[in-house]
Amino acid sequence: MAEHVVIIGSGPAGWTSAIYTARANLCPIVFEGAITEENRQVGTLPLGQLALTTEVENFPGFPKGDLSHYLRSALDEENHYLADMHHQEGCSGPELMHLMRKQAQNFGTRIETDDIVKVDFSKRPFVLHSASGQRIEAQSVIIATGARANYLGLPSEDAYKNRGVSACAVCDGALPRFRNKPLVVVGGGDSAVEEADYLSKFGSVVYMIHRRDQLRASKIMADRAIANPKINIQWNTEVDEVIGDDATGVKGVRLKSTTGDGKTIDLDATGMFVAIGHTPNTRFLEGHLEMTSKKYLKWTVPFRTNTSVEGVFAAGDVADDYYRQAITAAGSGCMAAIDAERWLASQG
Ligand code: FAD
């Protein structure tokens, strides 16, 4: 018999969809992805991108600091349960994701640690095939497979991820290690300018490292970067190595010229933000669902999570190359669950 709803993906979007559909008695199955070396290499292990980071400071409900005093003063004698929460200080990315997974499981979500590698949406029930050979029939599907940040691929960049190397200024820019310190942004497109502009609020100077002699960004964005006195564009250069040590993490970058003159320079910096785009995890969906030119899934109805196939919904970064935040992914996961539930109800 076909499942009511199958959710593909295990980030905030997938688990939120699972929590909502499980509570609506739809008995969801989540394919959370497989634990393989290939998935580790590309950064798509179960629990999503947030599991790759350390601290999460902007997901509501997890303030930092000792909350015992605040909670004590906020409660009356009866509300003892709040007093027990004082240990909850901030949250790490992996912790947050384990909590979401546990919450989905508590409501009866079935979890398969497996990748979906092939789909057939041409007829109903839909058919999904997993990497381990499972064949699953589904009345509705929620795709929440996310998008992974592109990195330069340098060993030194890998060594300092979460210790100065980041792919998300909005997520990490406000951390203490970056405040009033020189920072580096790699890239020359609109998102690189956005990241540099945002980081200029925190850093003492933001070096943009760009391989060419003009930015790829739109004119309005390029003008914004050039006009910002805190942004210093290093034209015709690329990062050759991230410099740092175990104790402090990133201390600078070595740049090499792209003009072939062999020149290198070292810049001091406590952070390197890589802004060279994202790759949505949609390869297995090519030819089955409409996508944008950058291979993100297309939402086909305004303010809904419908895709180009009726009964198939998309949530999170796999369809959103604009906000790319855990809370927005969770929000659209909730929307997809409600959209799927109402669509199933409409099918009788
Ligand atoms: P993802 O989190 O990308 O999860 C999708 C998962 O689905 C994949 O990891 C994989 O396990 C699984 N999957 C993929 N393909 C398949 C398949 N074919 N079959 C089965 N499973 C599959 N946001 C914040 O709000 N705050 C932060 O502090 C923050 N820090 C970040 C730090 C880093 C280093 C990065 C990379 C991102 C950070 N973000 C942060 C962004 C945030 O992590 C994402 O916006 C969010 O995780 C997107 O959630 P998602 O559910 O759409 O997908």
* Residue 168 among the catalytic residues: yes
For 253-315, what is the HEC assignment? EEEEECCCCCCEEEEECCEEEECCCEEECCHHHCCCCCECCCCCECCCCCCCCECCCCCEEEC
Q: Which of 234, 250, 275 is the last residue of a domain?
A: 275
pLDDT of amino acid 116 = 98
Average pLDDT score over residue span 149-169: 94
Task: Quote the Cα angle for 101-103-104, to 5°.
Answer: 65
Q: Which of 258, 275, 292 is the last residue of a domain?
A: 275
pLDDT of amino acid 86 = 46
pLDDT of amino acid 62 = 85
Find the domain containing 255 and state its range. 152-275
Average pLDDT score over residue span 220-234: 94
Does one domain contain both 37 and 140?
A: yes
Q: What is the CATH number of the domain that holds 243?
A: 3.50.50.60
* Residue 171 among the catalytic residues: yes
Tell me the one-letter amino acid at 99. Answer: L
Does one domain contain both 340 and 239?
A: no
Does one domain contain both 142 and 91?
A: yes
pLDDT of amino acid 91 = 83
What mean pLDDT value characterizes the chain?
A: 92
Does one domain contain both 252 and 119?
A: no
Does one domain contain both 259 and 295?
A: no
Question: Of 110, 108, 183, 191, which Cα lies nearest the Cα of 149?
Answer: 191
The ipTM is 0.99
Is pLDDT of 2 > 70?
yes
CB 150 within 8 Å of CB 142: no
Does one domain contain both 113 and 210?
A: no
Average pLDDT score over residue span 124-143: 98
Report the separation in Å between the CA atom of 146 and the middle of ligand 1, taken as the mean of its atom positions.
Answer: 5
pLDDT tens per residue across span 233-282: 999 999 999 999 999 999 999 999 999 898 999 999 999 999 999 999 99
Average pLDDT score over residue span 217-246: 95
Q: Which atom of ligand 1 sits closest to the CA of residue 131?
A: 19
pLDDT tens per residue across span 292-338: 999 999 999 999 999 999 999 999 999 999 999 999 999 999 999 99
pLDDT of amino acid 55 = 82
Burial of residue 3 (number of CB atoms within 10 Å: 0-12, 13-18, 19+): buried
Report the separation in Å between the CA atom of 223 and the middle of ligand 1, taken as the mean of its atom positions.
Answer: 32
Burial of residue 225 (number of CB atoms within 10 Å: 0-12, 13-18, 19+): buried
* Number of structural domains found in the chain: 2
Ramachandran area for residue 220 (φ above 0: left; ψ -120 to 50: alpha; else beta): alpha
Pocket lined around ligand 1, Cβ cut-off 6 Å? 8-14, 31-33, 44-46, 48-50, 52-53, 56, 58-59, 115-116, 144-146, 149, 167-168, 171, 281, 284, 316-318, 324-327, 329
Task: Give the Cα separation of 315 and 299 in Å (integer).
Answer: 9
Report the separation in Å between the CA atom of 48 and the middle of ligand 1, taken as the mean of its atom positions.
Answer: 4
Residue 72 binned pLDDT confidence (cut-offs 50, 70, 90)? low
Q: Which of 275, 297, 330 is the last residue of a domain?
A: 275
* Residue 91 among the catalytic residues: no
pLDDT tens per residue across span 77-97: 555 555 455 445 678 889 999
pLDDT of amino acid 87 = 47
Task: Give the Cα separation of 74 and 216 in Å (integer).
Answer: 52
β-partners of residue 143 are 8, 314
Which among 91, 114, 115, 172 is annotated as catalytic?
A: 172
Closest protein CA for atom 46 of ligand 1:
326
Does one domain contain both 199 and 212?
A: yes
Which pairing describes strands 182-186 and 205-209: parallel, antiparallel, or unpaired? Answer: parallel
Ligand 1: residue of 49, 119, 130 to mutate (most ligand atoms within 8 A of CB) is 49
Report the separation in Å between the CA atom of 93 and the middle of ligand 1, taken as the mean of its atom positions.
Answer: 10
Is pLDDT of 177 > 90?
yes
